Structure 1
Amino acid sequence: MLKIKSFVFNMFGENTYIVWNAGTKQAAVIDPGMHNAAEELIFDSFITENKMRVSQLINTHMHLDHIIGDNHVKSHYGVGASAGKADAFFGEKASTQARMFGMPLDPEPVSIDIELKDNEKIDVCGEEVTILTVPGHSPGSIALYFPISGWVITGDVLFAGSIGRTDLVGGNHATLISSIRNKLFTLPDSTVVYPGHGPSTTIGKEKRRNPYLS
């Protein structure tokens, strides 16, 4: 079974995840949000201390708080970024996003090297993971379902007791609700939800208690 570690980075309190296989030390990075040298050091030190080999970089979506560390991971570990194609324009306009959010940064563009599609199966550290397209927060949002580990990494689509905002470019409230109900809520109730911000939850808890989905 795989292991998962979360870090909270940048001024938006974004959850950056490292998923790894304890046996092979193979690791995947999901949504790297490191925005300065101090956060990069925390991230890199964890990988070094645990003797991991980073082999994948995956973005649930391409909003700046989730991709600001992409170019560091790409250059430092020699991997390309995987994400939904419909979010490519966000990565291309990383500096525009920084200005829009008032971040004192001028980030380089972030390109998608590998496009991920709905219901595609990919290998993540030895486990077959299903890609679920879940637009609404952004047009290219995806979730990563780990059926053996019993997790789903949802980005900014579903949170503990909340849902993603839909007032940004490409957002749509009705589409978001449909994505949650028709994709995420079909997963087993015991599935642990690892969101883009805030604490983890489960699919069952959100079905019963999420006020935005009742």
Structure 2
Amino acid sequence: MYQLQKTAPSQLNDLAHCHAACFPDSLSVQLGTAYIAKTFEWFLVNEHRFLFHIKNGETIIGYCGGFITQYAGDGSTSGMMQFAMTEAIKGVIKRPWLLLHREVIPFYPLIGKNLWKKIISLAKTPKLAPATANGFTSSAGLVVIGILPEHRGKGVFEMLMQQFDKEVYLHHASRAHLSVKKENARAIQAYSKAGWQTAKTNEHTIEMHKYVE
């Protein structure tokens, strides 16, 4: 019996292990469980973010996390990176070859910027803009989602999408957005069936959006 739950701090390590089983070859897995758990913690420290999962018995078999933009240019990548920077550094110290990982190199400028902020403690909280000010409208970003391979195609994705839409509604947003790699045809097809539409095609990714009523 599948059970959907809001993720609690005490469940972050279990969620990290689920993520590792979903994406065993990913950079985050190579950086270590502590790093993964810390990135998931980012969703729990702000009321404009949300994280939930589905359990089968005592095992977490799927998860999803998102956030509501609060100002123009608000994104998750830099925020999560800065939040988990200490654990990322520990992971790189243990595995220095990860500095040459193909997923890391494009982020060198962003990593440098966030590392500098971390060292000199000059990170500032952006001034939040009201949802209607200067033409800005808040949007819900789908940041992370994963399902254990053995539970794919069994309705888990649909359950996660339904809860995501509910979270968007509860957070008073109407538009949602995500980014998916172009070669991930399975995910693109699943998102399309769930009502997402292609908004923009980039060199390596496709940006999709949907409106939640």
- If asked which structure has higher relative contact order (CA below 8 Å, sep 6+), I would say 2
Answer with 1 or 2: which has the greater Rg. Answer: 2
Structure-2-length-normalised TM-score:
0.27
Q: Specify which structure has the higher proportion of strand.
A: 1
Structure-1-length-normalised TM-score:
0.27
